[in-house]
Amino acid sequence: MEQVTRMPLLGEKFPELEVMTTQGKMKLPEAYQGKWFVLFSHPADFTPVCTTEFVAFAKRADEFYKLGVELIGLSVDQVFSHIKWIEWIEEKLDVKIPFPVIADSAEGVSKALGMIHPGKSQSNTVRAVFVVDPKGVLRLMIYYPQEIGRSIDEILRAIKALQISDNYGVATPENWPNNELIGGNVIIPPATDVKTANERKGKDNCFDWWFCHKQL
């Protein structure tokens, strides 16, 4: 019987994959054991939207590294194409790409992670983002169509929110830390018993017993 594979779901372990990159062979998620990492795909080398994204990732790389997050790119182009494109970006745009880029095939990582766009060429990947935590667990996925460039700032914001949630056992509101209702505050988990619910009623930092917030 043919084995059916599916893309991983949030909260599951990132699949074990051996990949060829511009910095040599790597095993994922083993290569980043104990660290967060972001795997992001792009449709093709030497394309305008992808170039703007690579420049943005490179310019913000230090911000990711300060959060303990490694970066790794991917497309179905071959290694020599990645290398030439990276050289072009450095020569023409004066931006050095510090992270490895995976050279994949349509039957490899891209298929395993559901990154092949069925409505487009079967050799092109969508703009996918996978955020994996230090335990190798997939924590966030974002998919964009080929025509729409990503916001690297949003990826950074989401990672900061995930780390805050993990470290303090809280949730973060829409557009945290710039939410229209509670600003940079975080959301306290809802009460799970009547006594706690009654204690929260009428408090300054609570809209109701199930919606309380606080500063960190």
* Closest alpha carbon to 67 in 141, 166, 142: 166
The model scores a pTM over 0.75: yes
Q: What is the C-alpha to C-alpha distance for residues 207 and 209, in angstroms, rounded to an integer?
A: 7
Distance in angstroms (rounded) separating the CA atoms of residues 190 and 76: 45
- What distance in Å separates the CA atoms of residue 43 and residue 174, rounded to the nearest whole number? 29
Burial of residue 92 (CB within 10 Å: 0-12, 13-18, 19+) is exposed
User: What would the pLDDT profile of 164-205 be if each residue is shown by its tens digit?
Assistant: 999 999 999 999 999 999 999 999 999 999 999 999 988 999
Residue in 20, 39, 50, 89 annotated catalytic: 50
Domain 17-147 -> CATH class: alpha beta
Domain borders along the chain are 17-147
Is residue 112 a contact partner of residue 130, using CB atoms and an 8 Å limit? Answer: no
Average pLDDT, the chain: 90
Per-residue DSSP letters for 87-104?
HHHHHHH-----S-EEE-
Q: Provide the pLDDT for residue 1.
A: 33
Catalytic residue status for 50:
yes
Per-residue model confidence as pLDDT tens digits over 103-157: 986 557 777 777 765 665 555 677 889 999 999 999 999 988 888 999 999 999 9
